[in-house]
Chain A
Amino acid sequence: MSAPTLANSNKLVIPTATNMVGDYWDNLFTAKERGKQVVWYNGSAVNPFFQAAGLEWCHGEAFSARLAAQQLEKPAQLAGEEYGYIGELCSYARTHLGCAVLTKQARSEDETGIVGLVDQQELASRLPAPDFFVNAYAGCSTGQQWDEISYRVFGKQVPIFNVSLPFLPGNKPDAGYLSGEEWDQASGYVADQLYKLVEFLETMTGRPFDWDALRQNMSYIKRASELRREAMALCRAAPTPATYWDWIASIAHINFMPAGPELVQYFTDVKAEVQRRLDNSTAGVRNERYRLYFDGIMNWNKLGWLSRKFADADVAVVCGRYTHNAFWQEPHLIDTEDPILGMAQHYLLCPTNHGVKTLKYLTNRDCVDYGIDGIVFHASRTCRAFTNPQHLLAKSAQKELGIPSMFFEGDVADASFYKDEILESRLAAMLEGIDVRRSRI
């Protein structure tokens, strides 16, 4: 087992970037002091609705991911364990439910004057308690149940609204990506619920919903998304100017940052920087010899470690399901004058919301488009939604494209499941296989 170095990875640096994400969280932590209402939500990016309604929003997975990325997840997970959650439960849900327990305790401690453990306070008291919940989880049933449990942890006293997002199994012969009767029906069904969500927000805030603000928000998001997609497309070049890890680094931005000119500026700058690197032949991995696709949800505890680890092996991880097939990835669907249908459709396009037929199509398409040599599957221990189709995807890529793959173990927000030696030995074996294959051609 060897610790990765910094020698070969060449992270994208945006000279003009501000600390948008850090500022966002700091702002959220002071929401109550500023008299703002706070909504906790999971799953799909329904935040443009919250922004238009004048709310502050906390995305459950994002908060868990942030804690994990900062190696701060333990106190919340311990609180969850003490409450009774078993360690095999989705670590996003486990961390966030632990936060819910701590937040609730902190609230009662406020009332009683009892002070809890310092680290618990640190986490719990900083996350403002919800005024209400909104759940809009696609694909994974755990996501929906998780909010129902949060609702119960808070004593069933915090209102909750559920958007039901149907899975797109690809039952009918005409079913395809963005097409077929199944797609049209599901789109309309979800759009109808979004109008109900707006009514719910009006009730919660006591104000009429600002439709103009929503249209405005969606025009910023659409533009940001177009720029992001264009920048991603530049990475079809070999060597790639930016890597999968760079796209991971901007997930928060596209997923839950406030919509506004800053968001558009951020992705304008990203695209400009990628273009500049391309023009100057600056590579994301200094000595790119292999191009891989990454399938799986992110291992937030190991983000920097993994990016360096792959680069050390001369591997450019170029694209992946989590980055390229999620987060407003089909901006052409958004009609900025009448954005509801396109929003509904994006919520259905979560990469865990498709049957395997569509996933095979998307993965193999991206492998061809980006000139991929092999696929690395992150078998994230507690996220069955992402791991479910992985073996079938591996078989399909091998059969359709002759592309090999490897699996390594880890988890979204629980470091204990990561096994470095497995990653190292399997990666070496796959790269050797790629070399052999190349030598035969």
Chain B
Amino acid sequence: MPSTFTQAMATLGAAAEFPNTYVAQWKQRTGGKAIGLFPMNFPAELAHAAGVLPVIIQEDREPITAGRNLLGEFNCGYTRNLADQAALGRLDVYDGFFQADHCIQLLGAVDVVREDEPDKPVYFGQLMSSMGDEWTFPQVLEKMNDFRVELEKFTGRAVSDDDIANSIEIFDENRRLMRSIFDQRRHGDAALAPDQIQVLVKSSMIMDKQEHTELLREVMAEHGPVPRDDRIRVHLSGHFCHAPNPELLKVIEDSGAIVVDDDLFHGTRYVSTDVGSTDDPMAALASVYLRRNSAVPCPTRVQHDVDWDRFLVDSVIASGAQGVIVLMAKFCEPHMLFYPELRKALEARSIPLLLIETEHEGLPLESIRTRVEALVERIRRKQLTTV
């Protein structure tokens, strides 16, 4: 008989692997509507408060076919895959689409969705990405209010402040639990492999939050802490919008490395910051947008006084990671722009670094294995010489 842990992981894994099936079943079960969200900053709490299921659309595993003729081959894999999903009807399960981020490649993909789902609302409320201006906060608050109004129009029902506060608490609880898993990993627990952690995060982006929280509790209750072995400790950095390929994560751990921390969107970044209890939930949602970027800086934002490079070095020191593997979605412009700053900061601290570019299809896993093994070897030798 499978353990509760195994059963819960299987349920979460199914949602992560087949989001559309989960969404269709949820709609059937509840009679509710589901909206597709584009990463990375839409306030899903508001949608939850409006009674709809907010789902962050995931990159799927299908090869890109029709999407090839909709966006350039030099767009990131996530946006090309989105275009493909839209063109081939794989987004039909959603009743509407909402977006808050203005990455230029994502805007292109959303235009394709708009074109292919002409009868459904596609709403873009641009959350300002220049974070430090005196008008940033009022602007962000205004956008949050726009989202609320649009969601009210979409569902045909008013959303009260109490509804929003309630949803915030539900989301915060889920984040707290997930964070505790990340904390444990940082402090020496090797119980969950990176691909399993990714299942937890991905499913949290898809499922009804309370349902997810229950399953998460089961996962946590059943797995006892497992002490780390002597594999080389690495930090995974980068990879926005979509999850790194699980086979790639396996290759990293099979090559003699163990992941102890990350700043991935499908990881620490997603759960980094709570909204907190408040009398003014709209202001709280606006403020968390800003606070999240201070907690885990993101190069898609412009904030002069926070540094992703400094954050990375501090994280590495805090977790005791011995090296950094940068996972860069090929063609991801914000990441390409910031990468030299990371490289400089890590080199200054003599922290070994490996850059792996990822693609939607055709990932050269064997050559990646060789490169990760070389990194591991380099770190081992460094260890020996410093002993």
Q: A82-97, CB under 8 A of B: which get 1 and which 0? A: 0111101110010000
Contact of A144 among B112, B122, B302 (CB under 8 A): B302
Q: Is the CB of A88 within 8 A of B302?
A: no
Contact of A389 among B69, B111, B134, B135 (CB under 8 A): B111
A192 part of interface (Cβ distance < 8 Å): yes
B220 part of interface (Cβ distance < 8 Å): no
Which residue of B is nearest A391, CB measured? B70
Q: Taking A142-B333, A148-B304, A162-B302 as contacts, is the C-beta distance between A392 and B111 under 8 angstroms?
A: yes
Q: Is the CB of A151 within 8 A of B105?
A: no
Q: Is the CB of B302 within 8 A of A148?
A: yes
Q: Is the CB of A192 within 8 A of B302?
A: no
Q: Is the CB of B71 within 8 A of A391?
A: yes
Q: B322-336, CB under 8 A of A: which get 1 and which 0? A: 000000001101101
User: Distance (Å) between the CB of A337 and the closest chain B CB?
Assistant: 26
Contact of A171 among B124, B128, B139 (CB under 8 A): B124
Q: B137-177, CB under 8 A of A: which get 1 and which 0? A: 00100000000000000000000000000000000000000
Which residue of B is nearest A90, CB measured? B333
Which stretch, A30-38, A325-333, A377-385, touches the partner chain B? A377-385
**Interface hits, B33-76 → A, CB 8 Å:** 69-72, 74-75
Q: Which of A85, A385, A391: most chain B CB closer than 10 A?
A: A391
Contact of A145 among B74, B334, B344 (CB under 8 A): B334
Q: Is the CB of B124 within 8 A of A162?
A: no
Contact of A384 among B105, B123, B304 (CB under 8 A): B105
User: How distant is the Cα of A167 from the Cα of B103 in the complex, in angstroms?
Assistant: 11
Q: Is the CB of B108 within 8 A of A388?
A: yes
A43 part of interface (Cβ distance < 8 Å): no
User: Distance (Å) between the CB of A237 and the closest chain B CB?
Assistant: 34
Q: Is the CB of B336 within 8 A of A89?
A: yes
Q: Is the CB of A384 within 8 A of B340?
A: no
A55 part of interface (Cβ distance < 8 Å): no
User: Distance (Å) between the CB of A376 and the closest chain B CB?
Assistant: 16
Which residue of A is nearest B303, CB measured? A148
Q: Is the CB of B333 within 8 A of A141?
A: yes
Count of chain A residues near B, Cβ 8 A: 46
Q: Is the CB of B337 within 8 A of A384?
A: no
A268 part of interface (Cβ distance < 8 Å): no
Which residue of A is nearest B334, CB measured? A145
User: How distant is the Cα of A146 from the Cα of B126 in the complex, in angstroms?
Assistant: 19
B299 part of interface (Cβ distance < 8 Å): yes
**Interface hits, B11-52 → A, CB 8 Å:** none
Q: Taking A167-B124, A356-B115 as contacts, is the C-beta distance between A382 and B74 under 8 angstroms?
A: yes
Q: Taking A89-B333, A141-B333, A355-B111 as contacts, is the C-beta distance between A149 and B338 under 8 angstroms?
A: yes
**Interface hits, A19-34 → B, CB 8 Å:** none
Q: Is the CB of A391 within 8 A of B69?
A: yes
User: How distant is the Cα of A291 from the Cα of B135 in the complex, in angstroms?
Assistant: 47
Contact of B340 among A84, A145, A385, A389 (CB under 8 A): A84
B210 part of interface (Cβ distance < 8 Å): no
Contact of A160 among B110, B112, B304, B331 (CB under 8 A): B304
Residues of B near A391 (CB, < 8 A) are: 69-71
Q: Is the CB of A88 within 8 A of B74?
A: yes
Q: A135-164, CB under 8 A of B: which get 1 and which 0? A: 000011110111011011000100010101
User: How distant is the Cα of A141 from the Cα of B129 in the complex, in angstroms?
Assistant: 9
Q: Is the CB of A356 within 8 A of B111?
A: yes
User: How distant is the Cα of A167 from the Cα of B125 in the complex, in angstroms?
Assistant: 9
| Total A-B Cβ pairs within 8 A | 127
A387 part of interface (Cβ distance < 8 Å): yes
User: How distant is the Cα of A83 from the Cα of B104 in the complex, in angstroms?
Assistant: 24
Which residue of A is nearest B111, CB measured? A356
User: Distance (Å) between the CB of B32 and the closest chain A CB?
Assistant: 23
Contact of A381 among B74, B300, B341 (CB under 8 A): B74
Q: Is the CB of B108 within 8 A of A141?
A: no
A339 part of interface (Cβ distance < 8 Å): no
Residues of A near B334 (CB, < 8 A) are: 141-142, 145
A169 part of interface (Cβ distance < 8 Å): yes
Which residue of A is nearest B150, CB measured? A171
B292 part of interface (Cβ distance < 8 Å): no
Residues of B near A192 (CB, < 8 A) are: 135
A189 part of interface (Cβ distance < 8 Å): yes
Q: Name the 8 nearest CB pairs between A and B, nearest first.
A: A388-B108, A84-B340, A162-B130, A356-B111, A169-B124, A89-B336, A387-B72, A148-B302
Can you pick out 15 interface pairs between chain A and chain B where the beta carbons lie within 8 Å of each other? A141-B300, A142-B333, A145-B334, A145-B338, A149-B338, A149-B341, A162-B302, A164-B139, A166-B126, A352-B104, A379-B72, A384-B74, A387-B72, A388-B72, A388-B107
Give B contacts to A, CB under 8 Å: 69-72, 74-75, 102-105, 107-108, 110-112, 114-115, 122-126, 128-130, 133-135, 139, 299-300, 302, 304, 330-331, 333-334, 336-341, 343-344
Give A contacts to B, CB under 8 Å: 83-86, 88-90, 93, 139-142, 144-146, 148-149, 151-152, 156, 160, 162, 164, 166-167, 169, 171, 189, 192-193, 196, 352, 355-357, 379, 381-382, 384-385, 387-392
Contacts A145-B334, A355-B107 aside, 20 further interface pairs with beta carbons under 8 A come to: A83-B340, A84-B343, A86-B339, A88-B74, A89-B336, A140-B104, A141-B102, A141-B300, A141-B334, A144-B129, A145-B299, A149-B337, A160-B304, A164-B129, A164-B139, A166-B128, A167-B124, A379-B72, A387-B71, A388-B72
